Structure 1
Amino acid sequence: MNRVFQVFISSTYNDLRDERQAVSNTLAKAGYMPTGLELLPADNQTQVDYIKRIIDRSDYYIVIVGSRYGSLSSDGLNFSEGAFEYARSKDVPILAFLSEIPEPDAELKDKLDAFKARLSAGGIVEFWTSENDLCMKAMMAVATAVNLKPRAGWIRGDQAVDPKVLQELERLRIENADFHQKLANLNRGSTELVPARSVDSVTVEFLVYRSEEGAPDTVSKSISLGDLFVGIYDQLLKSPSEAYVRELVGYWYRQKFRMSDYWELGEKSATVIRDRLEAMGLIRSRSIIAGFTNHIAWSVTEKGKQFLQSRR
């Protein structure tokens, strides 16, 4: 499904109207969905509620700061700083762009300087000197944020899938797999290709990366080798390296149990699984030298192909 990311663009209203519109047009042409201050209602309190609702629906928050602090609301902050505080409280990724154009006589300069200092202390900021410079940096910053901090985004209504439908499809898939397994056992005179499910389970360790920084957590989980083999079978047909298999197993487990974060199979556990699948006759491994590196590649055996047919 193609997702479109909504970007809230905030700034002081009148003095940065052209810059705000230029950034909005640039992001729209790049395929994003910009939104912001242009449709604010007249009443101040209604404006605050409107901004909060839009930020709640937005994936990223851009704040453009020029040479003016702007008019104050009832809490003593301008709308940009108030919106910034709300976006931060909702953990919406914030992209700040500060003007390098000096303005020593700006109204409320102390508040403006304090706001800039808070933005700079809160993360990486960009500095802009012209409208074109601002647009280019804003587009690059949003693209980077999408890659590093992907958000939910928006999808077309006709592409959305009801979670209940997914649950029912998964139930039918499991039921169908069990039926085919029983049918295959009957056709083979109850001679199974591999050990029963209770025998082919194994406890492995995953490396779970919960943030972009810091060491991963080590988590032990019991998995079915048969289920795992079926889950990554299509990729095994391409004879992947063991390093890539570790990523595949992590992705398979995360998708199967709807986990968040990034999961990767531990190196020792990959060796255990390889040995077990080879003992079951489902795969074979071989050492391959590529350039200056030596890695192990996995490939599916004929018995592995037969086993897959029995599970589908």
Structure 2
Amino acid sequence: MKKRYQVFISSTYEDLRLERQAAVEAILKAGHIPAGMELFTAGDESQMKVIRRWIDESDIFMLILGARYGSIEPTSGKSYVELELDYAIETNTPFFAVIMTDEGREAKVKEHGTSVLEGKNEEAYRVFRDRVKTYLSAFFSTASEVKLAVFETLPQIVDGRDLNGWVSAADIQTPSDVASELARVAHENSKLRAELEEFRERANSQSGSNPQFEELFATLKNTKATIPAKLTGSPNDVELNLLELALHFGEYLARSVTNAYGTDAIESFVFYRIASPLAAFGLVEHGKSPINAKWQRLKLSKEGTRFMAKAKIRVEQNRSQPASKPAPTPPSKEPDAKPKSSAKKKKAAKRTPKKQ
């Protein structure tokens, strides 16, 4: 079922007309739905409520930041553009930003004059721009580069997220279609469970009989790996082994991970610190990516899937086995018992006369 995602475009208006139009065209060409507030003027509280409702109904929030901070909302002292971004973050709406470069600002000034620059709130603009740069961002000098940023960034945001989106009524399944699909899935799940049980029994019976598996299992277990503290939220780095990390992040590896621009810190860690080393053992392979893409996709190979399943069973077996008890230590004898006995025997031997 193909989904179309609604993208809310936030920006100042008069100075970024061309850039907004470029974003709208790119979103439409990508097959999605642009949403903006061109029909509303900043400064009306009821209109701010409408904007919030539009953001609630949108799947993705896009910020185009030019050289102006924008109109100020009197109560908060913030610009309406910053308030829109705050609301997107507050509601956990996925978002990205495109930020005008210094070259872009200079070109704007040459063409339109200094009216495109922030005049009254330069410090607030600078602080806001620095803040936006800490999020998923791209930079543009021309309207065409805004289009490029949309084409590159939207797939990254959509991939791996369960967004609501919009679907055509023709694509919606009827109750009978749903019932048939549920029956098919139930049958398939039953078959898969039977195959999994058979595989487990076969793995249990063959445990330890595959030298290649044993060698690879031991190699990954002895390969140290560190999770940075910033990923775990703990004060210190966490040291594990490559096998533990591969099993822990197995879902990422099965789904595939990329090193595309804007990839979050966890996926980048899995790509470079787990998937890449596993590729050396043939457990991970390159997945499909767009033609001329400047990034790579890695996923579990068939051999990697088999190894991970067997390794998981082995680890569970090791956990379920009770620890072996140490052999009891025999009681020690008195240190002077033997010498005394020996001394008595020697004295007795001296008193016994030899037979002639």
CA contact (8 A) 2:200 2:313 kept: no
Residues 1:84 and 2:85 are matched in the alignment? yes
The 3-state SS of whatever aligns with 1:77 is coil
Residues 6, 34 of structure 1: 8 Å contact kept: yes
* Percent of aligned pairs with the same amino acid: 26
Larger of the two Rg values belongs to structure:
2
Q: 1:189-230 CA distances to partner (integer Å, 9 max, x unpaired)?
A: xxxxxxx99x86969988344963567xxxxxxxxxxxxxxx
SS in 1 for 2:15: coil
CA contact (8 A) 1:67 1:106 kept: no
- The amino acid that maps onto 1:75 is S
* Superposed displacement of residue 8, structure 1: 0.9
* Residue correspondence of structure 1 range 74-223 to structure 2 within 5 A: 74-100=75-101, 101-102=105-106, 106-121=119-134, 123-147=135-159, 149=161, 151-161=163-173, 166=178, 170=182, 207-209=250-252, 212=267
Partner of 1:66: 66
The aligned counterpart of 2:20 is 20
Give, in angstroms, the shift of residue 49 of structure 1. 1.6
Q: Is the 8 A contact 2:95 2:136 kept in 1?
A: no
Q: Distance in 2 between matches of 1:128 and 1:176?
A: 49
Residue 271 of structure 1: how far off its partner (Å): 8.4
Unaligned runs of 5+ in 2: 107-113, 204-246, 256-265, 271-300, 316-356
Contact 1:72–1:79 at 8 Å: present in 2 too? yes
Q: Does 1:268 align with 2:269?
A: no
CA distance 1:171–1:30, shift in 2 (3 Å): closer
- AA paired with 2:141? T
Q: Classify the secondary structure of the residue corresponding to 1:126.
A: strand
1:243 is matched with 304
Q: Matched residues in 1 for 2:99 and 2:84: separation? A: 16
Output the CA distance in 1 between the equivalents of 2:186 and 2:66: 58
Question: What secondary structure does 1:34 align onto?
Answer: strand
Stretches of structure 1 that go unaligned for 5 or more consecutive residues are 182-195, 216-239, 247-264, 273-312
Structure 1 Cα separation of the partners of residues 98 and 189 of structure 2: 54
Query: CA separation in 2, counterparts of 1:156 and 1:115?
Result: 39
Cα deviation code 1:158-212 (max 9, x no counterpart) = 322478974685368759999xx9xxxxxxxxxxxxxx99x86969988344963
TM-score (norm 2): 0.49
Structure 1 SS opposite 2:138:
strand
Distance 1:4 1:241, change over 3 A: same
Compared CA separation, residues 97 and 163, structure 1 to 2 (3 A): farther
Q: Which amino acid aligns with 1:96?
A: A
Deviation of 1:149 after TM superposition, in Å, equals 4.5
Q: Aligned in 2, Cα 1:37/1:267: closer, same or farther, shift over 3 Å?
A: farther
For 2:166 and 2:23, how far apart are their aligned partners in 1? 20
Letter in 2 for 1:143: P
> 2:133 aligns to what SS in structure 1?
helix
The verdict on how the C-alpha distance between 1:162 and 1:214 changes in structure 2, with shifts beyond 3 A counting, is: farther
Structure 1 CA distance for aligned equivalents of residues 185 and 137 of structure 2: 49
Gap change, CA 1:244 and 1:128, over 3 Å in 2: same
Amino acid at match of 2:49: D
- SS of the aligned residue for 1:16 comes to helix
Work out whether residues 42 and 71 of structure 2, in 8 Å CA contact, stay in contact via their aligned partners in 1: no
Distance in 1, Cα, partners of 2:35 & 2:93: 14
Q: CA deviation at 1:65?
A: 0.9
Q: Secondary structure at the match of 2:14?
A: coil
* Cα 1:32–1:10 shift into 2, 3 Å: same
Partner of 1:288: none
Give me the whole-angstrom Cα distance separating, in 2, the residues matched to 1:134 and 1:52: 24
Higher strand fraction: Structure 1 or Structure 2?
1
> Post-superposition shift, 1:114?
1.0
- Measured in 2, the distance between the counterparts of 1:200 and 1:144 equals 38
